[in-house]
Structure 1
Amino acid sequence: MIISSIAAASLALIGGFLSAPGLVDKNINQVYPATSAPPSSQAQTLHRSLWIADLHADSLLWQRKLGEKGNGHLDLPRMAQGNVALQAFSAVTKTPRKMNINRNDGDSDNITTLVMAQGLPPATWNSLLARATYQAQQLHQLAGDSQGTLRVIGSRAQLRSFIAARDKNQHLMAGWLTLEGAHALEGKLGNLDVLYRAGYRMAAPTHFFDTELSGSQHGMQKGGLTPLGRDWLRAMEQRKMIVDLAHASSATIDEVLRLAKRPVMVSHTGVRGTCANGRNLGDAQLKRIAAQGGLVGIGFWNTAVCGKDVQAIARAIKYTVALIGVEHVAYGSDFDGAVTTAIDVAGLPRLTQALLDAGLSPAQIRRIAGENVRDFLLKNLPDDDA
């Protein structure tokens, strides 16, 4: 959810251009001060036994050294501290200035300033597709430099292999590539194959503005799928790529659910039942997504959960579990999405404690914390090795 403060921070950064490449990241990917006691020994023991997966982090955008502990919400050392097995790394390629959850056009772009200020290759300055492929290369490079600690997952076979390896070595981690808004296709459906070859296995049709494919919940028109969008949906399903409905307009959600032959995800969202705003999903939408076998990732930031602590996240999760069933609920943190979150990835044991305090059972927490994502991907990723 790259918020409008990125524009001001980017302008400050570009004033010094390459002299302070971490300024934007440090200023807007922050954590609220903890207000609760540290996790109990019971919660810590349970947490260490979990298979944890998160559906959304924008960490690749910031050109941070993710192999080292640093700014923001997520890096490999803190993923290890949080006992994360599988992390979705989402590529952000364009966001409008003065961004808000109600109404945006696509006539401006914060990310151009950011990629130039961070010294990315010139090909990324004007091409959204190049930005997406560059971020994919960054994740593959991170895995290559990790001495086997991190793997990139692109198929069911690779995921099965990783699960077996992690059963023997809990220090192993994996990432998979997702796309925040299919405007990175640059209006050409053939570019979906470029993104697939780069490793992307999930994509949303929109982010914060209406695209050639569909309306955004935050766009000007908020329409449904366009003819190109309907072709995109068929092409995604042919490749067994997962459709993400985060940020999609109500009309787009309705149309995708009517046409889709495979389950969908909503990678990072809140629910109006605990936090009533236009960013979040209503009860009827949640029920339809679940009825078709879908999965909903609950976010960790204030707009998603109407609170600044892990108790607010737990409240949203508990509500969603009661409404659609535990098997359809997951974590969708939005780490490093230019938001302030209740915890960073190392703070996940605090969320385990909050879920216990909210009355969820250890078996339910296991499903929510990652087993639902693991099993969904085992059914819905492509069969072949990527």
Structure 2
Amino acid sequence: MKNRLLKFLAGTAILAGVLYIAARTFGPGILERQLNKIVDNRPFSISDEAAELHGSLRIMDWHADTLLWNRSLLDRADRGHVDLPRLRDGNMALQMFTTVTKTPRNMNVHANEANSDNITLVSYLQGWPSDTHSSLLARALYQAEKLDSFIKKSEGGLMWVRTQSELQDFLEARETSSVPQPVAALLGTEGAHPLEGNIANVDKMYAAGFRMVGLTHFFDNELGGSLHGVSKAGLTDFGKQVVRRLDELQIIIDLAHASEQSARDALAITSRGVVVSHTGFRGACDTERNFSDELMKEIATKGGLIAVGYWETAVCGTTPEAIAKAIAYGIELVGADHVALGSDWDGAVAAMPSDHIPAITAALLEQGVSAKDIRLVMGESSLNFLHAWLPK
């Protein structure tokens, strides 16, 4: 009887070990394929005019959650939306990588409680360090370390941009280097809950390379109300304190996912231009994911930048034509100087991958957008913003 029990326990332990190894080995890929679906619009028609224009652009995207996933940025992947080879294929010049540290179960654009979290399971499944299992700050800092490691291993293929000086170094390197050209990497966080209610953690994140901070994500946090939270409230006293500290450190404020009242509260405090890093325009796509046109005008009036996404609830479609239509609407509403690209790549959305970006240039030309305005929204408006608001 005792021997049978021991054999049973040993067998159970072996089975548990096999299942654990299988989950760690195959689980991350299975999970990402389910969440980051690739929308393949090929074959798309790209005229010689569009191809020539696209090849001359300096393109920036303001939002990719690639650091959340268990794969190398440096290797071409058969899943997800972003890696260095595909960024190069799309002629991407600058990419803002954003860290995800907490998301609620049954996430939706209407109303989410803050008392559940999907990323804890992700941290275990992907073998993240033990401190990330319980600390949101540790999750953000770990993803920052991943980006720094990729940049160091890339041998110049990826370049940090944390200051205006580094931006200038990158632009000169891109101008003078032979193909393949380097790609700039910037770092932001999706929601400021990694601060864990402690203003001193703003400085820790700055030291780790963060130069853009979203105030909220899909739930209300210590800073204030989310566009998708329960309260729809404005900024708390702590949130206002954080906005002031972000201004002092010259960290860009991201209003994506903030409630409209939180956004207005931030606009009333900050003396700097803000970004909405991945969004659509309510007048072009009437969903709860998008701010009102009135608020978008206020953001632009204060020197802000509105980055258009590529997924269904942002632009009411996933085709290059749907994206181009939203961009054209934004140009008409606030001007091309205030419109940019904000894909939400690898952010649990179905979207075109980063090597399909030429199709957006072609669709914008078909939409009747001028080459001058295309050049602005594809990257020059973003570069102008960075020249104005990155730290020296």
TM-score (norm 2): 0.92
Equivalent in the alignment of 1:45: 52
Equivalent in the alignment of 2:278: 268
Deviations 1:8-51, CA, capped at 9 Å, x for gaps: xxxxx979421213111122212223166331222111111100
SS in 1 for 2:75: coil
Q: Distance in 2 between matches of 1:308 and 1:148?
A: 33
Alignment check: 8 A CA contact 1:289 1:295 kept: yes
Equivalent in the alignment of 1:360: 369
Task: Tell me if 1:64 matches 2:71.
Answer: yes
Alignment check: 8 A CA contact 1:73 1:344 kept: yes
Higher RCO (C-alpha 8 Å, min separation 6): 1
Equivalent in the alignment of 2:85: 77
Equivalent in the alignment of 2:236: 226
Q: Distance in 2 between matches of 1:85 and 1:162?
A: 9
Alignment check: 8 A CA contact 2:82 2:354 kept: yes
Equivalent in the alignment of 2:6: none
Q: Distance in 2 between matches of 1:33 and 1:85?
A: 22
Residue 316 of structure 1 aligns with an amino acid whose one-letter code is: A
Q: Distance in 1 between matches of 2:187 and 2:338?
A: 21
Alignment check: 8 A CA contact 1:298 1:304 kept: yes
Equivalent in the alignment of 1:151: 159
Q: 2:308 pairs with 284, 290, 298, which one?
A: 298
Task: Tell me if 1:189 matches 2:226.
Answer: no
Q: 1:179 pairs with 185, 189, 193, which one?
A: 189
CA RMSD of the aligned region, Å?
1.3
Alignment check: 8 A CA contact 1:206 1:214 kept: yes
Which has the larger displacement, 31-40 or 219-228? Answer: 31-40
Equivalent in the alignment of 1:370: 379
- 1:202-217 equivalences under 5 Å are 202-217=212-227
Alignment check: 8 A CA contact 2:39 2:353 kept: no
Q: Distance in 2 between matches of 1:158 and 1:15?
A: 41
TM-score (norm 1): 0.94
Alignment check: 8 A CA contact 1:143 1:151 kept: yes
Query: Post-superposition, which runs of at least 4 consecutive aligned residues in structure 1 deviate over 3 A?
Result: 13-16
Equivalent in the alignment of 1:236: 246
Q: Distance in 2 between matches of 1:382 and 1:354?
A: 35
Residue 103 of structure 1 aligns with an amino acid whose one-letter code is: A
Deviations 1:325-369, CA, capped at 9 Å, x for gaps: 11000000000001001x210000011100100001111111100
User: How much has 1:142 moved relative to structure 2?
Assistant: 0.5
- 1:80-99 equivalences under 5 Å are 80-99=88-107
- 1:317-332 equivalences under 5 Å are 317-332=327-342
Residue 219 of structure 1 aligns with an amino acid whose one-letter code is: G
Q: Distance in 2 between matches of 1:116 and 1:247?
A: 26
Question: What are the ranges of 5 or more consecutive residues in structure 2 without an aligned counterpart?
Answer: 1-18
Equivalent in the alignment of 1:128: 136
Q: 1:345 pairs with 350, 354, 358, which one?
A: 354
Q: Distance in 2 between matches of 1:328 and 1:23?
A: 38
Q: Distance in 2 between matches of 1:311 and 1:378?
A: 30
Q: Distance in 1 between matches of 2:382 and 2:65?
A: 18
Residue 252 of structure 1 aligns with an amino acid whose one-letter code is: S
Alignment check: 8 A CA contact 1:14 1:113 kept: no
User: How much has 1:308 moved relative to structure 2?
Assistant: 2.2
Equivalent in the alignment of 1:19: 25
Rg larger in 1 or in 2? 2
Q: Distance in 1 between matches of 2:20 and 2:385?
A: 42
Q: Distance in 2 between matches of 1:196 and 1:283?
A: 32
Q: Distance in 2 between matches of 1:235 and 1:19?
A: 41
Equivalent in the alignment of 1:8: none
User: How much has 1:185 moved relative to structure 2?
Assistant: 0.5
User: How much has 1:98 moved relative to structure 2?
Assistant: 0.6
Residue 42 of structure 1 aligns with an amino acid whose one-letter code is: E
Equivalent in the alignment of 1:285: 295
Q: Distance in 2 between matches of 1:59 and 1:39?
A: 27
Which has the larger displacement, 199-208 or 26-35? Answer: 26-35
Alignment check: 8 A CA contact 2:281 2:315 kept: yes
